[in-house]
Structure 1
Amino acid sequence: MGVKGLQYFMERCCPESCVTVNLKEIAMQHVSKTSDNSSSPTLVVDGMACLRHWYSCKDWVCGGQWKEYMSILRRWVETFTSAGIHLVFFFDGMVEENKRHEWVKRRRRVNGEVSKIFRYIKLHRAQPGKDLFSLPSGLATFTRFALRTLGQDVFCSVQEADYEIACYAHRHGCMGILGQDSDFIIYDSVHYFSVAKLHLDRLTTVLYDQERLCRAIELDVSQLPLLACLLGNDVVPEKCMQVIRNNAMEAYRKSYDTAHSGAPQGQMVLAVSQYVNSLWGRDKEQTGLIPQALKLPAANRKLLEKGICSYLLAGPEARPKDAQSPIPSTFKKDFSPEILKACRERHVSAEGFMVYNVLCEGVVECSNSLEDEEDHELLPQAFVFKSCRQRIYGLLLLNKRYDNTVEPPAIREWFVYPGNPLKEPDMVLPVPLDNPCEQPSLELLWFSSGPDVSTIRLMSFLSIFDCQEFANLYGVIEDSLLVALCLITYIALQVPSLCSEDVDAYLSQAVCLRLKSLQELQQIKLPFLCSRAVQLGSLYVRGLSYMLGANCASGCPLPNTALMPWQSFDGQFFHSKYLLAHRGTDQMLLLDKNAASLALFLQLREKHVEVCKKKNRVLQSRSRTSELEKSYTTCYGDGHTDGGDNWQDTGETSAGRWRRESNQLNFGYSGANLHRERKGGSQYSHPRFHPPSSSRWRPSRGQYQRAPRWCQPPGT
């Protein structure tokens, strides 16, 4: 949420209400005023507002520099901790339906920015500037788990996050709220500090002082909610109160000459404030939310009341839904109270993902991803991961009550992908797991114990991604590598255009990342960017979020830490492996000249090929050497050396060397491997690829209602 023009007014027209403060000093003053001097002063942090300030890594377009991001979060937390300030973080856990129109509006706007990003990459072969900055996919989701890993208190909202933040801060007597939303000026809660103005090294920022604002505009704190709604916010659209604002402006300009009226944005806030003040002056006995003197159509009055209620933290007219309210559930009759309670608790404490949204709301949403709408080879992530989502829904929702005569419940999906106008949700049906045994109950998966239950949990998780064959690798390889192998195999099974070089890039990156320090990752310099690799990087990270949802639904057979991107992915590192794999780099060089890494890579790749072959999916080699060579020549010209041997560790990066090595090497296969493949020892290198039938690509009835032409196999 946000109040139209209010923060601008405070900064430009009422600077006395914006006070530069030192948070360490504020914390000390807060302690001296409270009776309990033993506890640390608490600062409630709006995590969603901080994401753009936290993610300051140089690379963002390749999928995220996750190890570096973790180090940034760690330093950020340690700075406040060393100052004696306790932090509590809140993140959005759902989109309220009355805010859906605003959510859709923002997603459409970002879609246009994503299109510009890919046009820039294809034109310049480089990352765009800050004007086209986009957060890596899944950043909000993984940040919650990152902060929990750092020992922080993290909460996920079950309604409007701003409201929950203001309630928590007020209820617990916190020293303030750190965020960037003008709604915090309206709530009658605690001090609101700006994260955008925060200087971490000095712990100074700007306090938006509610009391000074009220004195400047001559309103009481209790009148601020009405002011906010008349100015326009996410509940009361700006256009609904346009007539009132126009009348207020007309009256204001008659009262004050232009020389003293200030900028137009400032005039509007002052004009509406004067109007609100006059309403209470004409109606001294007014006790309701809206003065009777304010004449409105019934529909607009009801909307205005709803908007004002959204700001009330206590009292009989406050919002009815809080942390102690009954658990909502679209499928409440199908589940025990214990299941719903556990679902709610795990969601609120930021230990779960997707499960609460499915069981209690029946709605799942996914924001924008870096997807090139002009690339007809790669499917959008919404389609790639639809199959695993359906199985997650099936594990959560399908039980003995649903047989062939009863249609299972559908989940409303609000997913952003090219070609989706977001006018209505996609209705997606759950699908049962491909499991020879009876589908396990949630009571068994979530609450039972014992080795047999652990096996059922693991098999349920693997079944969601059609990778049951990897069960024998559990405990043999690192959990993060098992996760990477499952995800890469799933993507290969779902994306017909994925080739062996893509898989080599994914696998080699995951294997080598374990041995890379943060400093080594930061020193990577890419000669140019490939738009296809950008989309593949984003696709992988999105996939990790669905694996997290599957893990939570299955009773957590794997520790959630194993599914975090900093365990198996770095955007720039993956991009470098992609470029090397597609130019035909020798395997030993692709695996950073590490014999142990090469052996592990070959072991994992053999397992991957084995599972794909069993499911009639044989990847073909499709090197993009000529395409990448053209990009290199475009960027640097023939014979240019960019001075970096840290990207490919060969000492030369000229286009001439690129061509020479690409012609000499066998696209990532050593002589021994090539000999073994010629003898029929591997199906990986040169198989003939047969695309699946078009029915695989088309959404079935009752699920996705739209099928853009690029979601059909090439040539159809």
Structure 2
Amino acid sequence: MGVKGLQYFMETCCADTCVPVDLKQMAVDHARAHPDGPATLVVDGMACLRYWYRCEAWVHGGQWQEYMHILQEFVDEFTAAGIRLVFFFDGTVEDQKRAEWVKRRLRVSQDIGRIFHHVKTHGQQPDGGDLFCLPSGLATFSRFALKSLGQETRCSVREGDYEISDYALSRDCMGILGQDSDFVIYDAVPYLSVSELNLKDMTTVLFSRERLCQVLKLRVTDLPLLACLLGNDVVSEQRTQRLRNGALASFRKKHRQVQGDKVYAVADFINVHHPSSGAAFGLSSLSLVEEEKEALEKGIRVYLLPGQTSPWLESSRPVHKPVCLMGKYAPAEILQAALEKHTRAEGFLVYNVLYDGVVECSNTLEDEDEVELPPQAILYLPVRERIYGLLLPVVPDCSGQTVSVKEWFVFPGNPLKEPTRVTPKPLNSLKPDLMALWFGTEPEVKAVQTSTLLDVFDLHEFNAELKRFDSPSIAVICLVTYIAVQARQLSLEDVDAYLSQAVCVRLKSFREMQQLRTSVVDPRAVQLGSLFVRGLTYLIAANTACGFPFPMGELMPWKTFDGLLFHSKYLQAHSGCPKEELLEGSSSGMALFTSVRELVLDACRRRGVSVHSRPRRLQHRDARPVEADDLHQERGHQLHHSTQQEPRQQPGASAHHQHGYRPRHPKRGRYHLAPRWPQSQN
């Protein structure tokens, strides 16, 4: 969440609440007081993403090998300091936070529009500042990355800040590392700033709730009310504006105007109305209208950890635990396994589908003016429908109601006023039993799991051909074929760029990857990069749903994709460079590229999609890749279009036609949903 203006107030108006600390010394002191185990720091993974992703290139889809190197360094420094790390990631968006989630997503969408305008105008990614967007799927892939580095990693089933605070307090951890002022409000362990973290000397800043209370003359148990009156993700600023304005007016009558007077005024208001013995109890002393009282009660309860109470509430009953709304559709063993995999950060998407039937996907770098490539949310819709079909009933129940999954997916033209209801669909050729997929021990189960995953991506008949490839290659084949069939606008040059980078990424060392440069950023290549990376998230979701036919670590982007390398190959392919040059003279790479390419193109042909050579005139005349000291001259081929085929209304048809989406405006390329979806309330 985050309290509006509180962290700025602490940093700017009362610097004494921000205490420089030495983490090594904190660990030593904590170990003395708790000799049973190592000092443990709980890390808010979501808050650390910006700190971790320091790779120079971000617009291309992610520099994943470099990112893994950064995470390894992060872990190593804490390990050397004798500090154990436990990482938490948000696993769901609670209903009470949905409005704020939507507001932020729409704001980021506006930023993405400005990013593409900058790319088209200058041929480069923005230098940073306000125009910045983390690579797609970064939070999802970070969970698996940290697990691969041997770290304990968890995924929340409710508000992430609550679970972090509860875990840290109940296990006597030395602190919480994050960047969220809510950790000042929770009466838990010390809150340490990741933005102020210096790994070289292992120092940071501790935001002291005790010192804040001294400055504001409050009790620690008053902090939840302070947070709600200032505004947070549960209680909006607008909801408490009347109370805040009154407090500010009263405060200014008694004091001269000072910086941060809004926080001082709210604290003074709390002190004046604090329930004393024999006086009106709790919030009733504040003369609230009913809506204000309900909002404040809900907001305060969010901050109460198990066993804690508030003087502002008549009863301190805990916040309701998550309820399994979709439980009647799956066996208890499946639900329990999904929960365990989710909380251990070993799976993706499946828990959300099976427990509350709500999934969300944040912003992706997509150009709203792009008319050839549908948004990823639309392009991958058939995959999600089939994943849902594996997990939930695909036929109406005895009352005639059809189950559906609520999707909150961000894409150009979607106002996010309500979720889209998506009906589960059966696979094209198989009817697997979920219990057998997840718990079967027979030797043939692995083959069934693999066939099922391939069927999710409409590649079921290629099972035999794919056996000669390793898991990362199969991941690339699945996604490139799927994108080519669904989008129906990929050229041979696009396919060559995807496949050549997937081959070269396994041939290059980390140092070689760091030397990659491109002289120009092409907006279409940016979207193609994000499209592939988002596809990997659906691939690991399918792998989870199918019982893990492939090792999850083999499907990760650091094994299959590098955004800067892809961008370089895209520029090379569209400037007409020879295949040998595209594969950098590697004979083994050329052999793998050729065999994978033949399979992808054959699969496309079988689905009625012919992939033609259509080199594009790159937008900027200096558009040429730069790899180390090797500069390739642009050949300047004219863009020409091949004949477009009509999309089929069957598996393999273009997703945005088949599933009721169509461009809202032919020039701007926005998409919206035609009224085809079932309106069941399940």
Which bin holds the TM-score, normalised by the shorter protein?
over 0.9
CA distance in 2, matches of 1:409, 1:7: 44
272, 275, 284: which is aligned to 2:277?
Answer: 284
Q: Which residue of 2 aligns with 1:73?
A: 71
The aligned runs of 1:454-603 (5 Å cut-off) are 454-603=446-595
CA distance in 1, matches of 2:468, 2:317: 52
Q: Secondary structure at the match of 1:528?
A: coil
CA distance in 1, matches of 2:319, 2:661: 33
Q: Does 1:347 align with 2:346?
A: no
CA distance in 2, matches of 1:40, 1:69: 27
Instruction: Tell me if the contact between 1:49 and 1:179 (Cα under 8 Å) persists in the aligned partners.
Output: yes
In structure 1, list runs of 5 or more residues that go unmatched. Answer: 637-641, 668-684
CA distance in 1, matches of 2:57, 2:492: 26
CA separation of 1:55/1:286 partners in 2, compared to 1, >3 Å: closer, same or farther? farther
CA distance in 1, matches of 2:519, 2:446: 46
The aligned runs of 1:360-399 (5 Å cut-off) are 360-398=355-393
The aligned runs of 1:422-433 (5 Å cut-off) are 422-433=416-427
Paired residue type of 2:19: V
Instruction: Tell me if the contact between 1:619 and 1:689 (Cα under 8 Å) persists in the aligned partners.
Output: no
Offset, 1:659: 3.1
Instruction: Tell me if the contact between 1:694 and 1:712 (Cα under 8 Å) persists in the aligned partners.
Output: no
CA distance in 2, matches of 1:504, 1:697: 21
The aligned runs of 1:78-97 (5 Å cut-off) are 78-97=76-95
CA distance in 1, matches of 2:627, 2:283: 72
Instruction: Tell me if the contact between 1:230 and 1:241 (Cα under 8 Å) persists in the aligned partners.
Output: yes
CA distance in 2, matches of 1:209, 1:704: 53
CA distance in 2, matches of 1:594, 1:686: 32
25, 43, 46: which is aligned to 1:45?
Answer: 43
Q: Secondary structure at the match of 1:239?
A: coil
Q: Deviations over 1:270-310 (max 9, x none)?
A: 111111011126x433695x332111111221111000000
Offset, 1:450: 2.0
Q: Does 1:659 align with 2:658?
A: no
In structure 2, list runs of 5 or more residues that go unmatched. Answer: 310-314, 673-682
Instruction: Tell me if the contact between 1:487 and 1:543 (Cα under 8 Å) persists in the aligned partners.
Output: yes
Q: Which residue of 2 aligns with 1:212?
A: 211
CA distance in 2, matches of 1:404, 1:274: 60
CA separation of 1:358/1:564 partners in 2, compared to 1, >3 Å: closer, same or farther? same
Instruction: Tell me if the contact between 1:117 and 1:128 (Cα under 8 Å) persists in the aligned partners.
Output: yes
Paired residue type of 1:50: C
Paired residue type of 1:279: H
Q: Which residue of 1 aligns with 2:620?
A: 631
CA distance in 2, matches of 1:61, 1:48: 19
CA RMSD of superposed structures (Å): 2.4
CA separation of 1:210/1:287 partners in 2, compared to 1, >3 Å: closer, same or farther? farther
Q: Deviations over 1:77-105 (max 9, x none)?
A: 01001100000011010110111100000
Q: Which residue of 1 aligns with 2:679?
A: none
Q: Which residue of 2 aligns with 1:673?
A: none
Paired residue type of 1:526: T
Instruction: Tell me if the contact between 2:90 and 2:156 (Cα under 8 Å) persists in the aligned partners.
Output: yes
Q: Secondary structure at the match of 2:373?
A: coil
Offset, 1:476: 1.9
The aligned runs of 1:400-479 (5 Å cut-off) are 402=396, 406-435=400-429, 437=430, 439-479=431-471
Q: Secondary structure at the match of 2:82?
A: coil
Offset, 1:455: 1.2
Paired residue type of 2:9: F
> What is the identity percentage for the equivalent residue pairs of Structure 1 and Structure 2?
48
Paired residue type of 1:631: H
Q: Deviations over 1:636-660 (max 9, x none)?
A: 9xxxxx9x5637x3xx44xxx4338
Q: Which residue of 2 aligns with 1:681?
A: none
Report the TM-score when normalising by structure 2. Answer: 0.92
Q: Which residue of 1 aligns with 2:15?
A: 15
CA separation of 1:705/1:100 partners in 2, compared to 1, >3 Å: closer, same or farther? farther
Between 1:501-510 and 1:442-451, the stretch displaced more is 442-451
Q: Deviations over 1:355-394 (max 9, x none)?
A: 0111101011000000000111111001110010000000
Higher Cα radius of gyration: 1
Instruction: Tell me if the contact between 1:487 and 1:540 (Cα under 8 Å) persists in the aligned partners.
Output: yes
Paired residue type of 2:297: E
Instruction: Tell me if the contact between 1:367 and 1:415 (Cα under 8 Å) persists in the aligned partners.
Output: yes
CA distance in 2, matches of 1:287, 1:86: 47
Q: Secondary structure at the match of 2:87?
A: strand
Q: Which residue of 2 aligns with 1:682?
A: none
Between 1:99-108 and 1:596-605, the stretch displaced more is 596-605
CA distance in 1, matches of 2:519, 2:61: 17
Equivalent residue pairs, number: 660
Q: Which residue of 2 aligns with 1:112?
A: 110
CA distance in 1, matches of 2:105, 2:662: 18
Q: Does 1:27 align with 2:27?
A: yes
CA separation of 1:698/1:42 partners in 2, compared to 1, >3 Å: closer, same or farther? closer
Instruction: Tell me if the contact between 1:618 and 1:689 (Cα under 8 Å) persists in the aligned partners.
Output: no
The aligned runs of 1:310-321 (5 Å cut-off) are 310-315=302-307, 320=318
Q: Secondary structure at the match of 1:72?
A: helix
Q: Which residue of 1 aligns with 2:298?
A: 306
Offset, 1:318: 5.4
Q: Does 1:692 align with 2:647?
A: yes
Q: Which residue of 2 aligns with 1:608?
A: 600
Q: Deviations over 1:379-424 (max 9, x none)?
A: 100111001000000011136x757994531111100000000001
Offset, 1:441: 2.1
Offset, 1:705: 7.4
Offset, 1:247: 1.3
CA distance in 2, matches of 1:431, 1:284: 61
Offset, 1:257: 2.7
Between Structure 1 and Structure 2, the one with more helix by share is 1
Instruction: Tell me if the contact between 1:618 and 1:687 (Cα under 8 Å) persists in the aligned partners.
Output: no
Offset, 1:490: 0.6
617, 621, 646: which is aligned to 2:628?
Answer: 646
CA distance in 1, matches of 2:380, 2:346: 22
CA separation of 1:580/1:33 partners in 2, compared to 1, >3 Å: closer, same or farther? same
Instruction: Tell me if the contact between 1:312 and 1:319 (Cα under 8 Å) persists in the aligned partners.
Output: no
Q: Which residue of 2 aligns with 1:275?
A: 269
Q: Which residue of 2 aligns with 1:174?
A: 173
CA distance in 1, matches of 2:641, 2:284: 79
Offset, 1:527: 1.7
Q: Deviations over 1:656-703 (max 9, x none)?
A: x4338x69xxx9xxxxxxxxxxxxxxxxx99854242589557689x7
Q: Secondary structure at the match of 2:621?
A: helix
Between 1:23-32 and 1:136-145, the stretch displaced more is 23-32
CA distance in 2, matches of 1:136, 1:42: 29
